[in-house]
């Protein structure tokens, strides 16, 4: 597959289902955003604006609640999520997110090219580097569940952020903290060693090579299929196997579907994902958990 650039979300999408990746990152056909994701984006926006304002000594605008109404409107947040957005912003305040003593930037862009020739593009929610060149990357999460140890150990976002920041700031000292602020739960920290930069780079590069060499026909059915833009035309095994139990035939059917891009687009225009806003529990601050993974 031809890809213009790669990001952590793109890699995660590929690992979830290569066929979903093909539609979203090659054909660039995207479905509607889930209401919970819009609420999360509003939190990110309010926090970003407040951090930038505080760095510029704009007292009133440094309060994230100053930006809340604008954020709700910008991301068309459903009223059912208003209280959640407010709670998550207040959690950021109580956990000290707006201490900008060592802050370099909010929504800091990382942009570098892998050895395979594919650019990596992403945005760090908040980048702190102190006077001793100790780096701390902070990323806000409003996800339903905290990361498992395995998810932290294989977190593409932490790998890409680490590579991007170390590449841009070569004087950074050995251990880099990547902090995931899971606002419904706790902070979870991955620590990566600068001495392992080449190992991490190879791991990311190998994954991107795997993506490039894929044809996007492999499908991985899961409970997420109902939110997928390819749902109406991917012929995934959970449907195909009802009448055809041979893997080879499944592959042929999928390949045939991929050749008819216009038909796929026409079907996708009619899709209306069944979004069901979840009931989000109130946030309680918990103790910080350090998950350290050094290669």
Half-sphere exposure of 38 (CA within 13 A, CB side): 20
Bigger pLDDT: 150 vs 276: 150
Question: Which residues partner with 188 through β-bridges?
Answer: 180, 289
Res 237 pLDDT > 60:
no
The reported pLDDT for the residue numbered 59 is 87
Q: Is the pTM of this model over 0.85?
A: no
Res 83 pLDDT > 90:
yes
Spell out a b/e string for 58-94, using b for 16 or more CB atoms within 10 Å of the CB, else e. Answer: eeeebbbebbbeebbeebebeeebeebbbbbbebbee
Among 58-72, 218-232, 247-261, the range scoring the smallest mean pLDDT is: 247-261
Res 182 pLDDT > 50:
yes
Helix axes 197-213, 8-16, angle to 10 degrees: 50
Task: Give the pLDDT confidence of 102-132 residue by residue, as tens digits.
Answer: 999 999 999 999 999 999 999 999 999 999 9
Distance separating alpha carbons of residues 237 and 60, to the nearest angstrom: 55
Res 41 pLDDT > 90:
yes
Distance separating alpha carbons of residues 155 and 257, to the nearest angstrom: 32
The reported pLDDT for the residue numbered 32 is 79
Task: Give the pLDDT confidence of 125-137 residue by residue, as tens digits.
Answer: 999 999 999 999 9
The reported pLDDT for the residue numbered 234 is 63
The reported pLDDT for the residue numbered 33 is 82
Bigger pLDDT: 235 vs 132: 132
């Amino acid at each position: 597959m031809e890809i213009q650039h790669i990001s952590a979300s793109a890699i995660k999408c590929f690992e979830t289902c290569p066929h979903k990746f093909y539609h979203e990152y090659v054909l660039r056909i995207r479905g509607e955003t889930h209401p919970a994701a819009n609420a999360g984006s509003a939190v990110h926006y309010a926090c970003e604006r407040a951090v930038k304002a505080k760095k510029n000594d704009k007292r009133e605008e440094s309060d994230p609640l100053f930006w809340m109404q604008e954020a709700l409107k910008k991301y068309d947040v459903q009223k059912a999520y208003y209280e959640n957005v407010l709670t998550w912003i207040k959690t950021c305040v109580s956990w000290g997110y707006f201490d900008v003593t060592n802050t370099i930037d909010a929504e800091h862009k990382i942009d570098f090219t892998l050895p395979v020739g594919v650019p990596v593009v992403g945005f760090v929610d908040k980048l702190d580097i102190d006077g001793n060149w100790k780096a701390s990357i902070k990323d806000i999460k409003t996800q339903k569940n905290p990361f498992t140890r395995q998810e932290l150990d294989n977190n593409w976002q932490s790998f890409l952020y680490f590579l991007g920041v170390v590449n841009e700031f070569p004087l950074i000292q050995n251990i880099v903290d990547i902090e995931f602020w899971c606002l419904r739960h706790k902070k979870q920290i991955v620590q990566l060693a600068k001495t392992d930069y080449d190992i991490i780079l190879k791991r990311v590069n190998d994954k991107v090579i795997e993506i490039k060499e894929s044809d996007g026909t492999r499908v991985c059915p899961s409970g997420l299929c109902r939110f997928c833009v390819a749902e109406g035309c991917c012929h995934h095994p959970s449907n195909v196997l009802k009448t055809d139990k041979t893997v080879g035939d499944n592959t042929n059917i999928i390949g045939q579907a991929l050749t008819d891009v216009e038909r796929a687009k026409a079907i996708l225009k009619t899709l209306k994902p069944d979004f069901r806003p979840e009931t989000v529990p109130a946030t309680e601050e918990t103790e910080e958990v350090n998950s350290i993974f050094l290669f």
